[in-house]
Amino acid sequence: MQTGTLAAAIDTSSVVAGFVVADAAGTVRVAMQSGCTGRDSAGLLVELLAHLQGAGLGLPDIGRWTVGMGPGSFTGIRIAGALVKGICSGTGAACRGLPSSLAMAAMATPAAGNRVHVLHDGRRGDALVSAWQFDEILQPAAPAAAMPAADLDAAAADLFVCLETDPVAALLPPPVAARTRVLPHIDAACLVAPAGQPWPADGPDGGGDCEPVYVRPPVFVPPRSPQIPDGLQKLLDGAGTRELDP
């Protein structure tokens, strides 16, 4: 199946969803922000299709999709990934995942040599820290990690970035807050074709890297033994010895 030449990016990792479509020259053809994220994302596809139609476009016109994979809302990230994979299954387009923190670091317009720490809420007073280094292009400086927000060190980075809608913005120590760029939302345009993040030379990726950015390792919680009321247990014990009528 032949696919279109346009590229799209979508990010639903925060409370504001972003969707952008651009042509091969990087000119934005469609740009959308929406409140349809997380558990309220039922209308996201309808809204997306309406914006495409308003620009005289359809889903088959898009040949490549990039999905923001967090850190951020687990539900939102999963919904965007599933939505895009479903679209690509029908249109034959390719998809890939990139960190949402990459877009946030790019929006902060760091200077050459800057170390950028992108901050997300880790709950219970923690901050999720995604470290990026800018030397002509943005590259990961260290694996994303969780730490108490109160322990953030202003000397650890040249620039900090967070979203104004993220609870971590209110937890930053004053020295860190003074060096923090607070963004209103994530611009999905920064995920369409970021420098240093090319598509594979041997062909578009099939979507194998569309995995959420996990900062904390998964923890296995063993299931509890079932709690059966005494009265029900006696009935069950009796059922095993009762003779059945022929």
Of the CA atoms within 13 Å of residue 133, those in its CB half-sphere come to 8
Q: What is the pLDDT of residues 7-24, one digit of tens each?
A: 999 999 999 999 999 999
pLDDT at residue 202 above 50?
Answer: no
CATH topology agreement for domains 6-99+186-192 and 102-183: yes
pLDDT at 94: 93
Q: What is the pLDDT of residue 38?
A: 78
- If one counts every other C-beta atom within 10 angstroms of the C-beta of residue 172, the result is 21
Q: How far apart are the C-alpha atoms of 191 and 143, rounded to whole Å?
A: 19
45-64: per-residue pLDDT in tens? 999 999 999 999 999 999 99
pLDDT of residue 205: 43
The b-or-e profile of 86-101 (16+ CB within 10 A means b, else e) is ebbeebebbbbbbbbb
The pLDDT of residue 227 is above 90: no
Q: What is the mean pLDDT of residues 65-84?
A: 93
Share of the chain above pLDDT 90, in %: 71
For residue range 110-150, list pLDDT tens digits in order: 999 999 999 999 999 999 999 999 999 999 999 999 999 99
Domain boundaries, the chain: 6-99+186-192, 102-183
Q: Cα–Cα distances in Å, from 79 out to 42, 54, 69, 191?
A: 10, 24, 10, 17
Tokens coding 18 = 């972003």
Higher confidence at residue 80 or residue 199?
80
Fold of 102-183: Nucleotidyltransferase; domain 5 (3.30.420)
Contact 193, 22 (CB under 8 A): yes
Decide if domain 6-99+186-192 falls under CATH 3.30.420.40. yes
What is the b/e burial string over 8-41, where b = at least 16 CB atoms within 10 angstroms of the residue's CB?
A: bbbbbbbbbbbbbbbeeeeeebbebebebbbeeb
The rounded distance, in Å, linking the Cα atoms of 8 and 190 is 11
pLDDT at 229: 77
How far is CA 143 from its chain centroid? Answer: 16
